Structure formats: C-alpha cells, structure tokens
Structure 1
Amino acid sequence: MRTEISTNVSKQTKHRKRKGWKVHLFPIPALVIYGLFIVYPLLAALSYSFFDWNGIKKGVFIGLANYKDLFTLQPFSGMFWNAFEHNILYFIVQMIVQNGIAFLLAFIIYKKIRGAEFFKIAYFLPRLLSVIIVGFLWKLIMNPNFGALNVILGKFGFDSLQKAWLGDPKTALISIILVNCWFGIGFAVLIFLAGLQSIPKELIEAATLDGAKGFKMLKRIILPLMMPSIMILTVLTFIQSFEAFELVYAMQGSQGEPYRSTDTLAVYFYRLAFGGSTGDSTAIGLGSALAVVLFVFICTFTAILLKIMQKKQVDM
C-alpha cells in the first residue's frame, strides 16, 4: 500500500515538474520583442558610435573620435550644450509647474470635495490623446493670426500680450513646455493622489489631536510620508524631460526653430542621425554617440535619484 502511495506521489511530482517548466516559456515572446526592439538598438548604437560613416555606409573604425567631436567640434558641441540647457529647463519647469499644480489638485481631491471623481477623470483626459495630436492642436491655438489664445487675449483687452508664441525665441520653448505640463498633469495628479490615499488615517487623526493643522500638518506629516510618490514622479519627470521629442517635433519640426531655441537632445539626435528637413546630411556616428551619452546620463541620474529615494524610505 505504501509502495503504491509513494509511486503515485512520485508520478504526481514528475507531472507537476513537466507542467512547471512550460510556464517559463510564456515570457519568451516578450523577451524576444524586448531584445529585438530595445537591447539590439542600444548595442547597435554603441557599435555605430565607434565608426566613421559616409551617409548610411559604415566606414573605418575611429574609436572615440565621434564623442570627442560631439563635445569639442563646432557646430556640434555648441548645439549639444544648447539642447542640453533646454532639457534642463524642461525638467525644472515641469517639476515646478506640472508637479506643483498636480500636488495642489491631488490634495484638493483628497479632501473629498464635491465632484472629486469627475475632476480625477477631467484632469487625466488630455493624457488619453496622442502627443502628436496635442502638438498640432496647440500649434493651431497659438497661431499668431487666427489662434484661439491671441483671440481670447484680445477679447479681454490684453492686446499687448498677443504675440507669435512659437515664432519668438523667447517664448517658443516655454510655450512647448507648458503644453507638455498641461498634457502630463493628469498622470501626476494620479501619482500624488495614490500617495495621499496610502497615508494611514490614524496618523492624520493623531497628528490633528496633537495640534498639527494646515501647513504644519503638510510639512511634518503628509510630505514626509509622500516622499516615495514624490521621488517616483521626480524620476519619471526627469526621464520624460530628457527624452522630449514628439511634442517638440509636432510643434516646431526637427530644426528646433526658431534659431534652435526649441532644440532638445532627442531632436538634435534625430537631426544628426537622419538628417534635417532642410537637407542636412546624416551623421550616424555622431548621432549614435549622442544617443549613448544621453542613455548613460539618464541611467546614471536615475540611479542616483532611486538611491536617494531608497535612503529616504530607510530613514523613515
């Protein structure tokens, strides 16, 4: 009897093992797609950056010459640092405007105002649109001749504020960044709202009994407990800011017009690698070098932010 039971158990175990290994086959299609469209392009870009190129034809191996040219040879170095500064501005404005307003809106919804559920949906609606559609929509709104923005300013008597928003180097980049803030604010609201709702109510009630109210409650209780959400959104905002391409391309094209005032590193990479719309020649080696530099920079800074976030969580 014992022998039969032991045999049955052994058969069941072997059957489970045979079925178990099949589970490991399910991730294979996803891994193949990831390797084909993510890992391979990254490795190919790294390889391409070490070669000279004649159009789309690979030339001789030149080592780090493309990296050197990117940082020291004009006009490449000038356009690189110009685009880099624009990405920094992109990040700062998004952190202050987009995430600042998003936190206030999330806090208002958290307080369970009337129609809070509607506002959650309303703030997120722009995110459902394609970035290209958003870009073309706002390009029409900011048109200096018939755009809704100038028309509204004129109706309310602010004629002095009317201008070619995307045609003026002083306002073109900030206009695009603010459009990006409008587009991304709903996602930021959801992240902050999730962080607020994760705070135990017992802590809020205990702090209230201890006399913590208003700004004191916000500073000493709510913000420290929301630090994981804040850091996650900071990381995502940083990555998005330094990958900014679609909206800039939709509103201003690949030349960073006017006068390179809306250039970002991603737009500059596109122009280097594939040539501009004005007939610029391609520079695949330089473009690949820029892609590698951008990838390393984003990964390094993201790792630093995640390390800080981990330390904050441990301290808490």
Structure 2
Amino acid sequence: MAAQTRPKRPFRWHIAVFLAPAVLVYTAIMILPLAGTLQLSLFRNVDQSQIFVGLDNFRTLFGDPNWSVNFWNALRNNVWFFIIHMLVQNPVGVLLAAILSSPRLRFAAFYRTAIFVPTILSFVIVGFAWKLILSPLWGVAPHLLDFVGLKSLFTPWLGKEQYALTALSLISVWQFIGIPMMLIYAALLSIPEEVIEAAECDGITGLSQFWKIKLPLILPSIGIISILTFVGNFNAFDLIYTAQGALAGPNYSTDILGTFLYRAFFGFQLQVGDPNMGATIATIMFLIILGGVCVYLFLIQTRLRRYQF
C-alpha cells in the first residue's frame, strides 16, 4: 500500500499582512536612515562630490586636534552624565518604589502621580523652568535657601564649569525618576503573595525582607532599567540644548555626544556643518550603544534569568 502523503500546510498569509505595516514603518524611519548614516560616514565631500575615504573620517575624529579634543570632552561628559543617573536616579527610584509599594502608606496613588508627572513634561519646559529657578538674579533658589538659612551654599551652578554638567544631570534625574520608580513598583507588585507569606513565616520582615527576598526577584527589572538608562543617556540632547544651547556652555563643560553631533552635522554660528563628520559621530554613538546592549544581553541578562519565575 502506497504511503499516504501528509497534506501540505497552508502558508499563513495573515501573519505577513499584520506584520507588514510595522515592518515598513520601522524600515522607513529606522533601518534606512541608519544605513544611510553608516554609508555617509565612509565618504567625504571633495570639490562638491562625495569621495569614498573608508575609515579616514574616524581617524580624523580620533586623531585630528580640531575634532578629537571636542569629541573626547563630549564622551567624558556623556559618561559622567550616565554615571549620575545610575548612581542617583535608579537607586532612588528603587527606594521610592519600595516605599510606595507598602500597604501601610496612605495617599500612595497621589505620590506616584506627583513623582511621575515631570516625566511627561516637555524638555523645553523643564530646561527653561530650571534655568529660572537656579538663576542668581531672578530665581527662587537663592530665596528658598535663604529662608532655611543656607543661602551661603548657593552658587550659579549652571554658570560654573565644575558644576554645570552635574546640575543638569540632577535636573534630568528629577524629570525621569518616575520611570524606574513605576517599573520597579510594577515588579514588586508582581511578586507572588506566597513568597512573601513564606518569608514572613520564617521571620523575615521589613528591610531584611526587601534585601533578601524582593531585591533578588526584581533584579531582571533593574537590569532592564539600567540598559534603558544607558541608551537614553547616550542619546541625550534636548535638555542640554534647551538649557545651555548648542555650544553647551560654559566653555563646552556640558557638551555631550548629542550636542557635539548637532554642531558637527548642521553647523552653528561660525562653525560650518560637515554631514560626513556628523555621520561619523552618529556611527560612533550607535556603536557605543550597540556595545552596551550586547554586554547586557550576553553577559548580564543570562545571569539574571535564574531569578525569574
């Protein structure tokens, strides 16, 4: 008897139909511009024509003093900008989430809303509002410090090179601390009640319960928040541009890769824009972010999976 042939499985056209709009939009606004940027970084404008130069633009960016000084300064500032967020924003966000998840806390919903509201504000509003608050001439910060007897501590933080970047980093922390708070808050609420009850039966309560039980269980969420912070900080531009302008003053002390890219690509004041060098800087930013994401995915996330349910 001849062997029966299995019926051929029909092709599921509806999957392609549903995925096509998202794929087309993502390709149009992400993949094609990225490919164009990578291509532009390998060319140079010579006599009104694009000439392929390979990696010469990267050598110029790293070695030519006209470019390398500003590039390494922007990279150092960007690293410090990220460190401030990692050391302040995320730990404080975890602390706020732990406090707000307590069933004993009254008006917790109001506190969550109040902390999260700055996240939805425009960068322009935040930048100009804090410039007014910290202004030594008409700002309210000197008067508030004088009211509590600490006016001697006031200084024009946004106007001094040694303080400006840290001040802007803390302003950014104030604006976005609601994001890690809400993500950690959701992670804490997702912990099964059986785990908490078992810990209480063993006499683990209060702060000890958070450190020994809850914190290990929310480590995957903390890892996701950390990589989101990394990507967001190395793509930052709006707040620095709004508060300090494209020159990222004073004396480029708040210059980060985003503002450096803006001046290089589009030009500013007496500086003529160079799209090829701007694309080179954008490529370096992409490689930095890609490297950080790969480190997280292949070295960190694999170690955190054992804590997931």
Alpha-carbon separation, structure 2, partners of 1:216 and 1:167: 44
Equivalent in 64, 70, 88 of residue 61 of structure 2: 70
Matched, 1:286 2:286: no
Name the structure 2 match of 1:49: 41
| RMSD across aligned positions (CA) | 2.2
Post-superposition offset of 1:167: 0.8
| Consecutive unaligned residues in structure 1, runs of 5 or more | 1-13
1:157-199 Cα deviation digits (max 9, x unpaired): 3222222221111111111111100110111110010111111
Name the structure 1 match of 2:101: 110
Matched, 1:299 2:287: no
Over 4 Å off, 4+ runs: none
Equivalent in 252, 256, 280 of residue 260 of structure 1: 252
Alpha-carbon separation, structure 2, partners of 1:239 and 1:176: 18
Superposition TM-score, scaled by structure 2 size: 0.91
Which stretch of the first structure deviates more once superposed, 92-101 or 256-265? 92-101
**Partner AA of 2:52 in structure 1:** F
Name the structure 2 match of 1:152: 144
Name the structure 2 match of 1:272: 264
Name the structure 1 match of 2:77: 86
Matched, 1:127 2:119: yes
Name the structure 1 match of 2:193: 201
Alpha-carbon separation, structure 2, partners of 1:304 and 1:298: 10
**Partner AA of 2:97 in structure 1:** A
Post-superposition offset of 1:58: 4.3
Q: Is the 8 A contact 1:180 1:247 kept in 2?
A: yes
- SS of residue in 2 equivalent to 1:298: helix
- SS of residue in 1 equivalent to 2:251: coil
Equivalent in 26, 29, 34 of residue 34 of structure 1: 26
Alpha-carbon separation, structure 2, partners of 1:219 and 1:87: 31
- SS of residue in 2 equivalent to 1:233: helix
Q: Is the 8 A contact 1:254 1:267 kept in 2?
A: yes
- SS of residue in 2 equivalent to 1:60: strand
Name the structure 2 match of 1:313: 305
Alpha-carbon separation, structure 1, partners of 2:258 and 2:51: 26
Q: Is the 8 A contact 1:195 1:226 kept in 2?
A: yes
Superposition TM-score, scaled by structure 1 size: 0.89
Name the structure 1 match of 2:3: none
Post-superposition offset of 1:27: 3.4
Post-superposition offset of 1:22: 4.8
